[in-house]
Amino acid sequence: MRYLSIALLLLTASIAEAQQLLVVKLSDNKHVAFEVDAAGGYKFLGTYTSVRGIGDTPDPPQPPPANAWSNATGGLHVMIVDDENLRGKLPQSQINIFTSTVLRAWLDKTCPKGKDGRPAYRLSSNDSLAEGGEARKQELPVYIQGWDLLMKSGVALPAWIVANGKRTTIEPLPNTVDAAIARLEALK
Amino acid sequence: MILSLNGQPAHQIDDGNWRDYVPDDDFRVRDSEGNEYFTGCLPVEEWDVARMATMPFEASGIVLFDEKEIGERLEDMWAAKASLMHLGYPDDSLDQSRSTCWIHGTCGAASLMFAQANVPYRVPSPASVAFHCYSNFGVNGGYPTLGVEKFQQYGAATVDLWPENGHSKSYDKAETRDNRKYQWLEEVVETGSGEAGFWRCMSAICQGFPVGLSYSWWRHYVYGCWGRLDRREVKIGIRNSWGNSGYGDKGFGLLAGSRKYPAWSCAFLRMRQSPGEL
């Protein structure tokens, strides 16, 4: 973890007896914390700012190896990942990508069917396939691999991972539906 | 004039015609052709809001957009065929047969959230949630916050195993108890009432989140998922639970004027699709 967050560490210690500490990320260095009680009620604890250590600089995202998404075989595979908590900070044209029927129709037509009979694409969130979660146990290995590669790449969300069987691309999500389709045409 | 996806003028309830939709005493609305539809939302004063697990709007990740900006955003979504109405249109409208709007609305919104997450089509059964709310499944009326609470607590079975109006305990069996683990309502945000609630709801819709809407004048609860800017007025698009032919274009319509301001509302942020901790 590149950034120190002293306040959050102290907070965690102070509410050790709470049922759960919920931290919502508002931006790269700002978080909101809640205490969740046994009845599922939320208590707002405060807004915390991460403190960056001197000389602490994040590594730039590294491009993946040529065929990093090795399980994505048989045609175009696409995985789009966003952080729903940050969606409101995006331009509307980019938000539209997550609900676009035009993009979905293109993906339905272009992507091959996976082992589950569904076209080989997913629209996912930044915690949907996290380690230890039940959803991870239910998902096909190819998408778990893709999600892991994207989340470890360091590319800021929203982002996508695209593979055509020969090359894997991880990059920020384009800004519009049209740009997304044009980019996928180039990558397929 | 706003057209719906079927090319016809979008159904609209506003200050000029709302009295045609006011239910009589037993939560029924009868149209001019004698067709009968049920509402079923108890007055807000009778709700137990405190039991529901929701997040305050200010603490959620939903950005409150400027009112002038919202109209532009809605038209942008519509032009890009990226509204939640476009996404939900291929699927049938729910069709409550009793006064169960209070849970039908939330289950309709949940099915739209699954569609957005591009998982296989599934509809959480309102009756499977109502089973945990009232001994008579709330067929004579209920309140939405109880439905939200129990959906968060118990999940919901899908309608292929537990019909949406299957008001019978016989559906509560091992198969549906296992199935309900895969449909959970998780994060819900309080968006409030009146004009302020309306604009929070529209902000949520612009960010791709459906909303639950309760209306005292209508004694009805529906979900909101789209909107349009029409002659400088932002109108909220809803989906009703009166079947494909009972209301609007497959259940989709608009609310305008003072009829659009809810007595209570919430935004649905997240569904969980797999077993987890209660």
Condensed to tens digits (0 to 9), the pLDDT of residues A72-88 reads 999 999 999 999 888 99
Of B120, B208, B270, the CB nearest to A95: B208
Question: Which positions 130-159 of A are in contact with B (Cβ < 8 Å)?
Answer: 133-135, 137-138
B118 and A122 within 8 Å at the Cβ level: the answer is yes
Could you give the C-alpha distances from A83 to B61, B140, B231, in angstroms and in order? 10, 40, 34
The tens digit of pLDDT for each residue in B76-122 reads 999 999 999 999 999 999 999 999 999 999 999 999 998 888 887 78
A99 and B61 within 8 Å at the Cβ level: the answer is no
Provide, rounded to the nearest whole percent, the portion of chain B with pLDDT above 70.
Answer: 97
- Specify the pLDDT at position A18: 47
Taking CB atoms and an 8 Å cutoff, what residues of chain A touch B207?
87-88, 95
Residue B64: pLDDT over 70: yes
- Spatial separation of the C-alpha atoms in residues B211 and B214, rounded to whole Å: 10
Helix (H, G, I), strand (E, B) or coil at A183: helix
As given in the structure block, the two tokens for residue B144 are: 């939405």
A123 and B86 within 8 Å at the Cβ level: the answer is no
Strands (DSSP E) contained in A127-174 are: 159-163, 168-172
Question: Which range is least confidently modeled, A67-76, B105-114, B235-244?
Answer: A67-76
B273 and A88 within 8 Å at the Cβ level: the answer is no
Identity of the residue numbered B229: L
Q: In the 3-class helix/strand/coil scheme, how is chain B assigned residue by residue?
A: CCECCCCCECCEECCCCHHHHCCCCCCEEECCCCCEEECCECCHHHCCHHHCCCECHHHCCCCCCCHHHHHHHHHHHHHCCCCHHHHHCCCCCCECCCECHHHHHHHHHHHHHHHHCCCCCCCECHHHHHCCCCCCCCCECECHHHHHHHHHHHCCCECCCCCCCCCCHHHCCHHHHHHHHHCEEEEEEECCCHHHHHHHHHHHHHCCCCEEEEECCCCEEEEEEEEEEECCEEEEEEECCECCCCCCECCEEEECHHHHCCCEEEEEEEEECCCCCC
Most confident residue range from A36-45, A46-55, A103-112: A103-112
- Specify the pLDDT at position B150: 93
Chain A interface disruption, residue of B73, B118, B202, most A CBs within 10 A? B118
Strand B12-13 and strand B252-255: the pairing is parallel
Taking CB atoms and an 8 Å cutoff, what residues of chain A touch B87?
99, 101
- Specify the pLDDT at position B275: 59
Residue A42 · residue B53 · CB < 8 Å: yes
Residue A48: pLDDT over 80: no
Nearest 5°: the CA angle B126, B128, B131 is 105
Of A96, A104, A135, the CB nearest to B80: A96
Taking CB atoms and an 8 Å cutoff, what residues of chain B touch A137?
274
The ipTM assigned to this model is 0.92
How far, rounded to the nearest angstrom, does the alpha carbon of residue B98 sit from its chain's CA centroid? 16
Identity of the residue numbered A50: S
In this prediction the pTM is: 0.85
Residue B235 pLDDT class (50, 70, 90 cuts)? very high
Q: Is A80 on the interface with B (CB under 8 A)?
A: no
Question: What is the average pLDDT value for chain A, to the nearest integer?
Answer: 82
Residue A178 pLDDT class (50, 70, 90 cuts)? very high
The closest of B239, B216, B218 to B20, measured between CA atoms, is B218
pLDDT average, residue stretch A141-167? 94
Chain A interface disruption, residue of B201, B274, B277, B278, most A CBs within 10 A? B274
Residue B257: pLDDT over 90: yes
Residue of chain B nearest A102, judged by CA positions: B81
A100 and B80 within 8 Å at the Cβ level: the answer is yes
- Spatial separation of the C-alpha atoms in residues B7 and B87, rounded to whole Å: 17
A85 and B60 within 8 Å at the Cβ level: the answer is yes
A92 and B77 within 8 Å at the Cβ level: the answer is yes
Residue B235 · residue B77 · CB < 8 Å: no
Taking CB atoms and an 8 Å cutoff, what residues of chain B touch A121?
118
Residue of chain A nearest B89, judged by CA positions: A101
Residue A63: pLDDT over 70: no
B116 and A123 within 8 Å at the Cβ level: the answer is yes
A177 and B80 within 8 Å at the Cβ level: the answer is yes
Residue A16 pLDDT class (50, 70, 90 cuts)? very low
The tens digit of pLDDT for each residue in B159-200 reads 999 999 999 999 999 999 999 988 988 889 999 999 999 999
Residue A28 pLDDT class (50, 70, 90 cuts)? low
Chain B interface disruption, residue of A24, A32, A92, most B CBs within 10 A? A92
Residue A180: pLDDT over 70: yes
Residue B197 · residue B215 · CB < 8 Å: no
Q: Is A34 on the interface with B (CB under 8 A)?
A: yes
- Spatial separation of the C-alpha atoms in residues A76 and A54, rounded to whole Å: 43
- Specify the pLDDT at position A157: 95
Residue of chain A nearest B90, judged by CA positions: A101
The tens digit of pLDDT for each residue in B258-268 reads 999 999 999 99
As given in the structure block, the two tokens for residue A100 are: 């676009």
Of B54, B203, B275, the CB nearest to A134: B275
Give how far B276 is from chain A: nearest CA, Å. Answer: 6
A42 and B55 within 8 Å at the Cβ level: the answer is yes
Helix (H, G, I), strand (E, B) or coil at A2: coil
Of B61, B83, B120, the CB nearest to A84: B61
